[in-house]
Amino acid sequence: MDDTSNLPDAFLEDVSAEHTRRAYATDLDRFFGEETVDRTTVHSVRAEDIQSFVRDMHRRGQSESTQRRRLAALRGFFDWLIQEGITTANPARNPNVQVIPSDTDSSNDSVLDADEVERLIETAGESTTTGLRDQALVLTILYAALRRQEIAALEVDDIRPLGRYWVLDLDDPAGGDTYVRISQTVVDAIERVQNAYDITKGPLWRSHSNQNYGRPMTPDAIYKVVRKVSRRAGVGPVSIDTLRQTGLRLALSGGANLKQVQRHGRFQKSASAARLLNDTQAQNNLEMSAVQFIDHSANADLEAIN
């Protein structure tokens, strides 16, 4: 490799996922701030420089998830530099480099932005052993705004057509009939899982571990999958409720009104849904489900990802 080469460009050529490549390019540019990053530049980077970058993000109000995402780009870049024999150490992995909690961060109301959702979905599908299942899990939670117990309790027969649409039948603690509309994106993702693992009846989500292969996944096991994938994507740790809240926020941003979000999220009190608004303008269209408004720009790329 030429000593004058722009090293981030060479690194990004090895990143296959388009959205990840674009996000990494932005994150590296934010850190280096130079048109050309050569060997001299990367050799000069110390852990203190990266932690200073984190402190600057914190001062500007960047969330923990954003800090982790940008650190993931730097860690991946320096891992690649080591692999290429350009440097011998990864300052971004120094134990003194840590994200700084934001005073406004809360696990109860934090949500991902559209770019983070795209990265999470792509990363979930990358595993050769669990990618189909993990991506379907993320998409189902996101689009159906499911709670922890709801996603874990799903069975094959709970997915059914209702008129022109697809719905998921959910367990209702009150004993009534509850269902939520889902998009074709979710239906296709679940169908890929069923076809790949010959799942025709019973629990929808199955373990791939050597010890419990084929057994139904517990709520805790699904929680751990979401956390693991989000950390790999550099946007975590993300909880199941974070995905649920993110889906509802995306619906609001896309034009769904408060009543639609309340119905889609199965809120008992409208105030619970109102907390998601954040000044988003709601439209008065009660006939369409809130799921129709969820758009994170990754939909068109899902077929290519799989």
Q: How far apart are CA 72 and CA 66, in angstroms?
A: 10
Determine which of 73-77, 155-159, 245-249, 294-298 has the lowest per-residue pLDDT on average. 294-298
Q: Of 40, 16, 45, which is closest to residue 28 (Cα–Cα)?
A: 45
- Quick check: 170 and 161 in contact, CB under 8 A? no
- Where does the pLDDT of residue 286 fall: very low under 50, low under 70, confident under 90, or very high at 90 and above? very low
Is pLDDT at 289 greater than 60 in this prediction?
Answer: yes
Is pLDDT at 2 greater than 80 in this prediction?
Answer: no
Q: Of 251, 257, 263, which is closest to residue 180 (Cα–Cα)?
A: 263
Q: How far apart are CA 303 and CA 202, in angstroms?
A: 26
- Between these two residues, 162 and 4, which has the higher pLDDT value? 162
Model confidence pLDDT, tens digit, residues 118-161:
989 999 999 999 999 999 999 999 999 999 999 999 999 999 99
For residue 46, the 8-state DSSP code is -
- Quick check: 180 and 168 in contact, CB under 8 A? yes
Instruction: State the angle between helix axes of 240-254 and 131-144 in degrees (0 to 180), rounded to the nearest 10.
Output: 50
According to the model, what pLDDT value does residue 88 have?
Answer: 95
| pLDDT > 90 fraction of the chain, expressed in percent and rounded | 47
Mean pLDDT score of the chain:
83
Residue with tokens 């994170």: 296
Which residues does residue 180 pair with via DSSP β-bridges, in sequence order? Answer: 168
Measured over the CA atoms of residue 183, residue 184, residue 186 and residue 190, the dihedral's sign is positive
